[in-house]
Structure 1
Amino acid sequence: MIHAAPDQPQTLGADLRALRRARGLTLAGLAKRLGRSVGWLSQVERDLSEPAIVDLRQIAGALDVPLSLLFAHEAPRADEAGYVVRKGTRRPLGSGAAGLTEELLSPDLTDDFEMMHSTFEPQQRIDQWVTRATQELGYLISGKLDLEIGARAFTIHPGDSFRIRGEPFRWANPYDVPAVVIWVIAPPVY
């Protein structure tokens, strides 16, 4: 069966539009934060204008995402764009927290959720609580992960899954092997 191409291709503009919308910002609201015109931002989101690196830094800051998220990444094959993400072409994402590597498994950032491959390195932890206005589901593939959600503490083992609904959480991997988690977040935060 042949499917039509996705409505929103994997482009910088489509990603910026999705990130802006996920944060509840209008074009005018983000343009104001950036000190730029609505017309300029609209052209960037429609891939009619290419922002300079200084603009990308400012946009990343305004959207609270790592700058690396906005850099070009290896494009998928034309017949797979919007449908398939090959292992070697995953886009690095994440908070940049030490000991945590995150890669986007979703084809782009234009969906109502994002799916990530997260690797928590051995003997690492995050001390600060993370609170996001999201629903998050995780499935542990390998290793073990200690997870605090609100006042509850859990040790997650391979094959276990968990859910976080806007509660504060933090993680620790005090073990000797990486913990690998498939993580789904709605709405997208990166």
Structure 2
Amino acid sequence: MPLSAEDLSARIGRRIHGLRTSRNDSLDSLATRSGVSRSMISAIERGQTNPTAVVLDRLASALNVSLGELFGETPQTAARAAPLVRHGDQVEWMDPQSGYVRKRVSPPAWPSPLQLAEVRFPAGARVAYEGGRLDGSLHQQVWVLKGRMEISQGDTLHVLRKGDCLAVRLTEPLVFFNPADQEAHYLVALCDMAAHSHR
């Protein structure tokens, strides 16, 4: 049964809280590193708000994990991980600011450095990610299945149409923009080389 928006907000909050406390990180420390206010982080951890993609990206960067990790399972749930996730059990999340919908395709908590996500990006929507990892250990590929996307990495603009695939290292700001008058649909493959090296 698909998670409700409230259930997903609670899961994201538990995941952020778990990652923060496992690092002996205070709310103030995480707020300073992420640029997200202490009160906002507290509200997110309690599942009282649905944060935007930009806020989640800032927190993921400060916690040194990929954005996808924030939608993951807690270690207790991960102990029951399975290599198969059915279509109806894949978790969807909508960015409250842009309206883009992200579906986690990969089996939750399965021990793999590769994560897949399916994205439906509304016409005219724009999302600017500031995060990333300076060591270049986060690799991402975007494969456009329908529509058109403009993806800017630093000063470089890439125009992607159906069938195009862009590979980037998440080391600098990344801006996603749909300039068309129809929804874009694409697949994201993310590989966290640092996490893989620690296994």
Please report the TM-score for the alignment, with normalisation by the length of structure 2.
0.55
> Structure 1 residues 113 and 130, CA, compared in 2 at 3 Å: closer, same or farther?
farther
Question: Could you say which residue in structure 2 is the equivalent of 1:116?
Answer: 117
Aligned match for 2:153, one of 136, 149, 152: 149
Per-residue Cα deviation, 1:43-92 (whole angstroms, up to 9, x for no partner): xxxxxxxxxx996439x9999379x9479xxxxxx9xx622222222102
Aligned match for 1:27, one of 8, 13, 22: 22
Please give the alpha-carbon distance, in whole angstroms, between the structure 2 residues aligned to 1:54 and 1:97: 16
Runs of 4 or more above 6 Å deviation: 60-63
> Structure 1 residues 180 and 26, CA, compared in 2 at 3 Å: closer, same or farther?
same
Which one has a bigger Cα radius of gyration? 1
Please give the alpha-carbon distance, in whole angstroms, between the structure 1 residues aligned to 2:186 and 2:173: 18
Question: Could you say which residue in structure 1 is the equivalent of 2:63?
Answer: none
Letter in 2 for 1:175: A
Q: Are the equivalent residues in 2 in contact too, given 1:69–1:92 (CA < 8 A)?
A: no
Aligned match for 1:160, one of 156, 164, 172: 164
Percent same amino acid at aligned positions? 16
Gaps of 5+ in 2: 1-10, 29-42, 61-66, 74-79, 194-199
Which one has a larger percent helix, Structure 1 or Structure 2?
Answer: 2
Gaps of 5+ in 1: 1-11, 35-52, 72-77
Question: Could you say which residue in structure 2 is the equivalent of 1:83?
Answer: 83
Secondary structure in structure 2 of the residue aligned to 1:153:
strand
Secondary structure in structure 2 of the residue aligned to 1:176:
coil
CA RMSD of aligned residues (A): 4.0
Please report the TM-score for the alignment, with normalisation by the length of structure 1.
0.57
Aligned-pair CA distance for 1:123:
1.9
Alignment length (residue pairs)? 141
> Structure 1 residues 147 and 26, CA, compared in 2 at 3 Å: closer, same or farther?
same
> Structure 1 residues 70 and 108, CA, compared in 2 at 3 Å: closer, same or farther?
closer
Per-residue Cα deviation, 1:2-30 (whole angstroms, up to 9, x for no partner): xxxxxxxxxx7xx949x83xxxx672515
